[in-house]
Structure 1
C-alpha cells in the first residue's frame, strides 16, 4: 500500500536505514532530525502516518505527539513510536499519550512495515468517502455486530486460555473493549462513556493494534478466548 510517511528521529544511521527500507516497500518517506523540523515538515507534506522517536533533544516524542493531538487537523493521524525505551511503563505512557503503536529498538523492519500498512488500511476504511448514497460500513458493521452477538450466545463454548502476551490496556481501553464485546456500536459506546465517536474510533484502533486483530468480531473473540473481558 503506497502512502506518505513522516519519520522523525535524531539518529542519522537509524533514520537513513528506516527511510531506505520503507521506500523499498513502496512508501514516500519525509524525514526530520527533530520534532521542530518534523512539525514544519508536517505542515508542508500532510503525511498519512508519523513515525517518531521518543528520546530527542529539546522536544521529545511525547511533547511532539501532544502537539499533534492538540491540533484538530492531526487528532486522528496514526503515530508510531519507535524507541529504545522498551519497559512496560514506557509503553503504557506511550499509549496513554495517544500513539497507535509502539516498537522498541532493535526491531524487525518487516514488523514496522506490517504495522504501517495495517494502520493505513484502517485509516483508509474510516475516511472512505460515501458514494452512490451508500452509508459507509453500516452493512459490514451490522454483520460484525450480529457475529459478535452470536459469539456471545456461544460464549460457553469458548474456553478462556492465558493470553500469550501481557496487554497494557488503559482503563478507558478496557471500558471500550467491554462495550464492544457487548455488541455496541461506536455511537452507543460514545454515549455510554460520554465521549466523542472519534475518541471511540481511536480506542478501537488501539485495541486492534494491541491484539493484532482486524475487525470487531476478531477483537471480541480474542478478548473472550484470553479472558480480557467478563
Structure 2
C-alpha cells in the first residue's frame, strides 16, 4: 500500500528512523520537527495521514490535533499519536482529543505500519463507498429535480423572478452556493470542482443544509428550497 504521510516529532533520531522504515514500506513521508512546521507542511501538501508525537515543546500533540480537527480541510484526516506516555489516562485523553490510533514508545515499527495501512485502507473504503453511492444517482437526481420544478410550476408555486419566501434561513455564502448547485442536479464531485474545494467539504455543507432545512435527502432539500424561494441563481 502507498500513501502520503506527515511525521511530526521533535526527536531527530526517532524521526529519521521512523521515516526510513515507512519509506522502505512504500510510503511517501514528509517530516517536521514540531507542530508549527507540521502545520506549514499541511498547507503546502495535504497528506493522507498524520503521525505526531504528543510531548513536543511550544505546541504539543493535543493542541496540534485540536487545530486539525477545527479546520474543515483536516477534520477527518487520520491521526496517529506517538508518545512515551502510555498510561491509560493518557490514551483516553488522546482518543477524546480525536486521534485515530495511539502508539506508546518504544513501539514495533511493523505495528506502526500495520496501523497506517489499516487507517488508509478504511479511509479508501469509505471514499469508494461514497463514490459508488453517488455516481449512479446523477441522472436520476436531475430527473427528480426537473419533475419537482414542473409540479410546483403547474401548481403555481414556482413563480418567475424572485418568489416571496415564507421562511428565513441564514445560509453562509458557501452553503448558498452549494444549495444552488444541488438544485441544478449536480453531485458532490461536480460541486467540488465548480467551487474548487474538496468533496469532503461539500459533504459537510450538504449535511449543514439538511440540518438547517430539516430535510433528509437531496430531493427533499431541493423541493423545500424551491417551495420557499431559497434558490438564488434562478436555475
Q: TM-score, normalised by structure 1?
A: 0.57
Q: Which residue of 1 aligns with 2:93?
A: 93
Matched, 1:9 2:9: yes
In 2, distance between residues paired with 1:130 and 1:38?
33
Please list, as runs of the form range in 1=range in 2, the aligned pairs for 1:113-124 lying within 5 A after superposition: 113-124=113-124
Q: Secondary structure at 1:117's aligned position in 2? A: helix
What is aligned with 1:51? Answer: 51
Structure 1 residue 133 corresponds to structure 2 residue 112 = no
Tell me, what secondary structure is at the counterpart of 1:56?
coil
- What secondary structure sits across from 1:62 in the alignment? helix
- Cα deviations across residues 175-218 of structure 1 (Å, max 9, x unaligned)? xxxxxxxxxxxxxxxxxxxxxx98xxxxxxxxxxxxxxxxxxxx
Q: 5+ residue gaps in structure 2?
A: 139-202, 205-235
3-state SS of 1:74 partner: coil
Q: Distance in 1 between matches of 2:21 and 2:66?
A: 27
Give the equivalent residue in structure 1 for 2:20: 20
Report the number of matched residues.
Answer: 137
Structure 1 residue 127: Cα displacement: 1.3
Shift of 1:45: 1.4
Q: Equivalent residue for 2:142? A: none
Deviations 1:123-178 (A, max 9, x none): 0011122376179xxxxxxxxxxxxxxxxxxxxxxxxxxxxxxxxxxxxxxxxxxx
SS at match of 1:85: coil
Which consecutive residues of structure 1, in runs of 5 or more, have no partner in the other structure? 136-196, 199-230
Q: Distance in 2 between matches of 1:17 and 1:9?
A: 11
TM-score norm. by structure 2 comes to 0.56
Q: Counterparts in 2 of 1:96-115, with a 5 A limit?
A: 96-115=96-115
Superposed CA RMSD in Å reads: 1.8
Q: Based on CA coordinates, which of the two structures has the bigger radius of gyration?
A: 2
Name 1:226's counterpart in structure 2: none
In structure 1, what is the Cα distance between the partners aligned to 2:29 and 2:85? 24
2:112 match: secondary structure: helix
Residue 189 of structure 2 corresponds to which residue in structure 1?
none
4+ residue segments displaced more than 2 Å? 129-132
* Distance in 2 separating the partners of 1:55 and 1:95: 16
Q: Distance in 2 between matches of 1:75 and 1:127?
A: 15
Residue 76 in 1 paired to residue 106 in 2?
no
